[in-house]
Amino acid sequence: MRTMRRLLATPEGAVGLALLACLALVALFAPVLSPGDPLRIAGRALTTPFSDPAFPLGTDRLGRDVLAGLIHGARTSLAVGLAAAAAALAMGLCVGLAAGFAGGLLDEALMRMVDAFQIVPGFLLALAFVSVVGPSVPVVVLAIALGAWADPARLTRAQVLSVRERDYVAAARVAGMHPVEIAVREILPNVLPPVLALSAIIVAAAILTEAALSFLGLGDPNVVTWGSMIAEGRNVLRSSPWLSIFPGIALVLTVVGVYLLGEGLTRALSGRRAAA
């Protein structure tokens, strides 16, 4: 609760949390706000925004409702971003914790693997993986996570190296605790806050990567995404620019909200550590 109060006390945290809360509510109640399949043909093609009450944001080249696509696209963006970030953080925490706590040859082997993944840009790795395996939401999530886990792993290892020789860890060893128990119960809670602060960057990058893959036609064709909506609008950008503008604005607001929430969370956690 103290962390939440500190988060809301920061302008960045309050604005970011408000933006993401609105987006989460839209995604959660998407079937209620826009029932039915958002990919269905709902009306006349290329209806301009605010000209038909049935389609407030107009329709695309096939007559699909743009507002319905934005609402249901929020579910895809949030689901992919959060799932990819959770997978990347889980992988990074496990690898970084094992490398930093064990040391020796295991540390060297795991860090060389981290170096190998960091050499390849995350987007190119995701692009290659999806191109080989095939586009679907689980594959996109795994592809993004494979390109994003190395940074949390390196940060976790650095944090573990800074705390593994402290008195409470030495006391746990003297008490006869198993090394795995020491790592999970004594070390992990103390290295988690900086890694969680990094999660905002991973979520924002995951949302942008998913949009870029969908823009290139490598997203799941059975779900509507903001990236695919932007790609659909580029063919009629001169005559119907709203088809790309509206999903682009939604994408920008989402990434800005995640970034602001991450900044607020970092300040709140820093204030908690300073107070401690």
- CATH number at 159 reads 1.10.3720.10
SS3 of the chain: CHHHHHHHHCHHHHHHHHHHHHHHHHHHCHHHHCCCCCCCCCCCCCCCCCCECCECCCECCCCCEHHHHHHHHHHHHHHHHHHHHHHHHHHHHHHHHHHHHHCHHHHHHHHHHHHHHHHCCHHHHHHHHHHHHCCCHHHHHHHHHHHHCHHHHHHHHHHHHHHCCCHHHHHHHHCCCCHHHHHHHHHHHHHHHHHHHHHHHHHHHHHHHHHHHHHCCCCCCCCCCHHHHHHHHHCCCCCCCHHHHHHHHHHHHHHHHHHHHHHHHHHHHHHHHHHC
What's the pLDDT at 11? 86
Q: In which band, very low, low, confident or very high, does the pLDDT at 57 lie, cut at 50, 70 and 90?
A: very high
Q: Is residue 256 part of a domain?
A: yes
Q: Which range of residues forms the domain containing residue 205?
A: 2-45+64-275
Q: Is residue 264 part of a domain?
A: yes
What's the pLDDT at 274? 47
**Taking 90 as the threshold, does the pLDDT of residue 141 lie above it?**
yes
Nearest to 224 by CA among 96, 87, 113, 65: 65
Q: Is residue 198 part of a domain?
A: yes
What's the pLDDT at 32? 93
Q: Is residue 83 part of a domain?
A: yes
**Taking 90 as the threshold, does the pLDDT of residue 49 lie above it?**
yes
Nearest to 64 by CA among 48, 41, 47: 41
Give me the residues paired with residue 179 across strands: none
Q: Is residue 55 part of a domain?
A: no
What's the pLDDT at 150? 93
| Higher per-residue pLDDT: 141 or 275 | 141
pTM to 2 decimal places: 0.86
Q: What is the mean pLDDT of the chain?
A: 88
Give me the residues paired with residue 52 across strands: 55
pLDDT per residue as tens digits for the range 185-228? 888 888 887 888 788 889 989 999 999 999 998 888 889 999 99
pLDDT per residue as tens digits for the range 6-22? 778 888 889 999 999 99
Number of structural domains found in the chain: 1
